[in-house]
Amino acid sequence: MTRASRRWLFAAVALLALVAVLIAWRAIQTERGIDAAEPVATTTPLAEQGLQGGTLVSPSNTLGAPVPEPATDDHADGSPIDPWWRRVPPVAGDLVPIAPIDGIASADDRSASGHVRIARAGEHLLVRITDLRVASSDTELPGVRVVLSEGTVVGARPGLWTGHEDDDDLGTIPSDVGTITFDLESPRGIPDPVRSLVLLDPDSGAVLGGAALLPTD
């Protein structure tokens, strides 16, 4: 074989090797492209079709696991907001005489004084009246009715009370009891919010006194 023939043979072999390398490289790139196009399986739920178009998906974290919904302490009526008796107490206020207004009778010759404090103890609400004094100029009043009210008491000696239809009657107590505590367990039926405590004549319904309840220590 001549020198020229050898050169042509070497050139042909080199060309064939180059072509083989190019074919192999192209095949590898094609396989990589197919792998990249395939979806990766995760634990994230598939999107659900919305009623008005678009998609609805469940929240998930970066690992694909569903995000838990925040816990809520529901109100008795389904509201996620805690009721007044869980959020606000302790509250307190002083009993003052109440002036008569339209629709609310007042005992002109009788009045009540004392101090009111409402505090929460676990699942109990403690309504405490201390130093209770009921003054009467004509007849003795053996008992008074205690009411928690959503209505407000404003002013002092005499004050004004705006009654409310959702008031909660705690019961009748002796007018000379001095100090008494009502222990209400899981008090779902009380007004929300409770803005005042009022004392009424059990017979006539006349208002003897009321206390505006404000947050305290």
| Residue 169 maps to a domain | yes
> Is there a contact between 197 and 209 (Cβ–Cβ < 8 Å)?
no
| Residue 70 maps to a domain | no
CA angle 144, 187, 79 (to 5 degrees): 135
Q: How many domains does the chain have?
A: 2
Confidence of residue 77 (pLDDT cuts 50, 70, 90): very low
The answer on 88 and 34 residing in a single domain is no
| Residue 58 maps to a domain | no
Confidence of residue 69 (pLDDT cuts 50, 70, 90): low
pLDDT in tens, 104-131: 555 556 788 999 999 999 999 999 999 9
194 pLDDT above the threshold of 70: yes
Q: What is the CATH number of the domain that holds 197?
A: 2.60.40
Range(s) of the domain holding residue 184: 84-215
Instruction: Single out the residue of 157, 159, 180, 184 nearest to residue 169, CA to CA.
Output: 184
Tell me the HSE value of 40 on the side-chain side, using a 13 A CA sphere.
4
Q: How far apart are CA 88 and CA 148, in angstroms?
A: 15
Q: How far apart are CA 16 and CA 12, in angstroms?
A: 6
CA angle 71, 72, 78 (to 5 degrees): 140
| Residue 146 maps to a domain | yes
Q: In whole numbers, what is the pLDDT of the chain averaged over residues?
A: 78
Confidence of residue 39 (pLDDT cuts 50, 70, 90): low
pLDDT in tens, 41-68: 555 444 444 444 444 454 455 565 565 5
